[in-house]
Amino acid sequence: MLRVSAFRLLGRRGASRVSLSEDFSLRHYSSGPLSVRDDTRDSRAYFTTPIFYVNAAPHIGHLYSALLADALCRHHRLRVPSDAATGFSTGTDEHGLKIQQAAAAAGLAPSELCDRVSAQFQQLFREADISSTDFIRTTEARHRVAVQHFWGMLKARGLLYKGIYEGWYCASDECFLPEAKVTRQPGPSGDLCPVSLESGHPVSWTKEENYIFRLSQFREPLQQWLRGDPEAITPEPFHHTVLQWLEEELPDLSVSRRSSHLHWGIPVPGDDSQTIYVWLDALVNYLTVIGYPNAEFKSWWPNTSHIIGKDILKFHAIYWPALLLGAGMSPPHRIYVHSHWTVCGQKMSKSLGNVVDPRTCLDRYTVDGFRYFLLRQGVPSWDCDYYDEKVVKLLDSELADALGGLLNRCTANRINPSGIYPAFCTTCFPSEPGLVGPSGRAQAEDYALVSAVATLPKQVADHYDNFQIYKALEAVSSCVRQTNGFVQRHAPWKLNWESPVDAPWLGTVLHVALECLRVFGTLLQPVTPSLADRLLSRLGVSSTERSLGELHFLSRFYGHPSPFEGRRLGPETGVLFPRLDQSRSWLVKAHKT
């Protein structure tokens, strides 16, 4: 059989590349919306997770995508504490060949499979404390309206034409592949089968007449967008990758399938013989959620941050912005990209039987514990490996011993019998080391601690802006260690409340340590919301005092009054985070085998 390369498109006009038509002017895209910063940008923010395929149950990689978005969004709320200003969507991607085939293989109607698996995602996200404001399913009526309207916009702007698509299609990845991205591997019967080079999933040859989107016309506008906004795709290496992709020619994109082949999807308006390509359908979810096509969506778009895995970068950083530009809209404000979790060094897959069930992990390690682990260990720029011992070691050392131990040391009845946020003594700990008088006992390391914790919120915010949440947590953890060092150094358990010499210094040591804990609790809210809530409640911090704007670390040291001094601590609620290593029978079993 004669094989031609993928994307060989024979448009009705007889050309695979189409010159600019009169109704389509690039000038419109490269000057207008691209260069204009939306007025609402600063007041509203919209975060999204990818929408998840429903062909199989959720795993820890899916939860990780959702947690990154949740932490970013929660951190934004700490900066701008008004629910109305922040939107956060997640959901399930329910159409397409992949789902149609999975349902057939399971002997279910596609809608039955979708209901079942979508419910699993919803339950997981509820249990994991994902604070989304909307959960979209692409099978909902509101979404069909949005997708068909979006299609109409592309059509009206002359960006769709009918042509023959001939090339490879990978149903598992729902994407077209050029010959260079296909290799041959022995299949179950030993014969060589064509598979995607990147994912290893089987591909099949397709030739049919479809609607084609003039993607090729958007290469320059996309380059302009990315060159003009170097942080559009974060972290930087992914931005660079996309610019490199754009060095190559951009072929037009087939955006529909014959309905006889793919019936599980949204029909092309006015042509029931064709079903809209699932990626176009899926990407529009981001607009559906904010009310598109009703004008209200304009107050959210484009102040949007998409959180995605690296495997779906091309769809979000090339297809989606091009489609948006085509429909007369701006590209999203930010695309934050993360890498993948492997398990014991291998890719997670059903066939290898190594898929880690996130609900078991939430049970074993607690919701806060597992959230902390994934976000503390997950590094966006490279893949991370999962194994149980690593979770136990991290949580025991950072949450149970360091943070929990610190809280306990500073609030326990034997050390602080009055249960009061003690007073800070400015002569014991003057604002400058040179001023330390006879009653002062502060040392150089103590000043270093105060300075480290004072700059921590800004450092953490910068790490969030750069999508380096693990670095934010590393910085918090390092300050927790420093604070423990401070307490250890001054051993408040050796000081005596009854002694007029000791008492002011004892109060000061505890005051400083509690202030540090208040900062840690505030900054940990996006990652460990319930643990942070317990910590802050124990310190007596009310719900209106937990935003970044209200933080004001160690005011007394800086010469201002402190609202906390003399305040009663919250009630004792037990251990902040119990150690895992002794208490987990499943781990003992795992060690023995």
Q: Secondary structure of 469-527 in the HEC alphabet?
A: HHHHHHHHHHHHHHHHHHHHHHCHHHCCCCCCCHHHHHHHHHHHHHHHHHHHHHHHCCC
Q: For ligand MSP, which is the closer residue by CB, 110 or 507?
A: 110
CA 512 vs CA 256, 301, 425, 496: distances in Å? 63, 43, 10, 17
Q: Is 283 in the site for ligand MSP (CB under 6 A)?
A: yes
Q: Is 309 in the site for ligand MSP (CB under 6 A)?
A: yes
**Which residue type, as a one-letter code, is found at position 281?**
D
Q: For ligand MSP, which is the closer residue by CB, 150 or 557?
A: 150
Distance of CA 462 to the CA centre of its chain: 16
DSSP reduced 3-state for 173: coil
Q: Which of residues 68-97 bind ligand MSP (CB under 6 A)?
A: 93
Q: Is 429 in the site for ligand MSP (CB under 6 A)?
A: no
Q: For ligand MSP, which is the closer residue by CB, 225 or 286?
A: 286
Q: Which residue has its beta carbon closest to ligand MSP? A: 309
Q: Is 62 in the site for ligand MSP (CB under 6 A)?
A: yes
* Residue 356 Cβ vs ligand MSP, minimum distance, rounded to whole Å: 9
- Which of 342, 384, 406, 361 lies closest to 580 in space, CA to CA? 361
Near ligand MSP by CB under 6 A, which window of 72-80, 304-312, 435-443, 481-489?
Answer: 304-312
Q: For ligand MSP, which is the closer residue by CB, 251 or 358?
A: 358
**Which residue type, as a one-letter code, is found at position 122?**
Q
Q: For ligand MSP, which is the closer residue by CB, 53 or 151?
A: 53
* Residue 113 Cβ vs ligand MSP, minimum distance, rounded to whole Å: 14
Q: Is 312 in the site for ligand MSP (CB under 6 A)?
A: yes
DSSP state of 44: -
Q: Is 341 in the site for ligand MSP (CB under 6 A)?
A: yes
* Residue 387 Cβ vs ligand MSP, minimum distance, rounded to whole Å: 14
* Residue 375 Cβ vs ligand MSP, minimum distance, rounded to whole Å: 12
Residue listed under structure tokens 């304009």: 298
Q: Which of residues 117-136 bind ligand MSP (CB under 6 A)?
A: none
As given in the structure block, the two tokens for residue 558 are 């800086």
Q: In this structure, are residues 5 and 167 in contact, taking their beta carbons and an 8 Å threshold? A: yes
Q: Which of residues 209-248 bind ligand MSP (CB under 6 A)?
A: none
* Residue 49 Cβ vs ligand MSP, minimum distance, rounded to whole Å: 7
Q: Which of residues 476-505 bind ligand MSP (CB under 6 A)?
A: none
DSSP state of 440: -
Q: For ligand MSP, which is the closer residue by CB, 282 or 576?
A: 282
Residue 26, class by beta-carbon neighbours within 10 Å (0-12 exposed, 13-18 middle, 19+ buried)? middle
Question: Can you tell me the distance from the alpha carbon of 312 to that of 263, in angstroms, rounded to the nearest whole number?
Answer: 24
Near ligand MSP by CB under 6 A, which window of 17-25, 61-69, 148-156, 555-563?
Answer: 61-69
Q: For ligand MSP, which is the closer residue by CB, 307 or 532?
A: 307
Residues 73, 242, 308, 469: which binds ligand MSP (CB under 6 A)? 308
**Which residue type, as a one-letter code, is found at position 75?**
H
Residue listed under structure tokens 């989606």: 320
Q: Please, what sign has the CA dihedral across residues 438, 440, 446, 447? A: negative
* Residue 324 Cβ vs ligand MSP, minimum distance, rounded to whole Å: 13
Question: Can you tell me the distance from the alpha carbon of 416 to that of 510, in angstroms, rounded to the nearest whole number?
Answer: 8
Q: For ligand MSP, which is the closer residue by CB, 281 or 396?
A: 281
Q: For ligand MSP, which is the closer residue by CB, 64 or 150?
A: 64
Question: Can you tell me the distance from the alpha carbon of 535 to that of 16, in angstroms, rounded to the nearest whole number?
Answer: 62
Near ligand MSP by CB under 6 A, which window of 280-288, 404-412, 419-427, 435-443?
Answer: 280-288
Residues 61, 302, 321, 332: which binds ligand MSP (CB under 6 A)? 61
As given in the structure block, the two tokens for residue 447 are 């000043």
Near ligand MSP by CB under 6 A, which window of 56-64, 153-161, 369-377, 543-551?
Answer: 56-64
Q: Is 348 in the site for ligand MSP (CB under 6 A)?
A: yes
Q: For ligand MSP, which is the closer residue by CB, 93 or 252?
A: 93
CA 213 vs CA 18, 175, 229, 261, 317: distances in Å? 11, 14, 25, 20, 16
Q: In this structure, are residues 339 and 310 in contact, taking their beta carbons and an 8 Å threshold? A: yes
Near ligand MSP by CB under 6 A, which window of 59-67, 146-154, 179-187, 357-365?
Answer: 59-67
- Which of 178, 584, 193 lies closest to 392 in space, CA to CA? 584
Q: For ligand MSP, which is the closer residue by CB, 383 or 545?
A: 383
Question: Can you tell me the distance from the alpha carbon of 568 to that of 339, in angstroms, rounded to the nearest whole number?
Answer: 45
Q: For ligand MSP, which is the closer residue by CB, 268 or 312?
A: 312
Q: What are phi and psi of 151, to 5 degrees?
A: -55, -45
Q: Which of residues 35-54 bind ligand MSP (CB under 6 A)?
A: 50-53
Element (H, E) at 60: helix 60-79
The C-alpha angle with vertex 208 and arms to 203 and 210, in degrees rounded to 5, equals 110
Instruction: Give the interface with ligand MSP as residue ranges (CB under 6 A).
Output: 50-53, 61-62, 64-65, 93, 282-283, 285, 308-309, 311-312, 340-341, 348
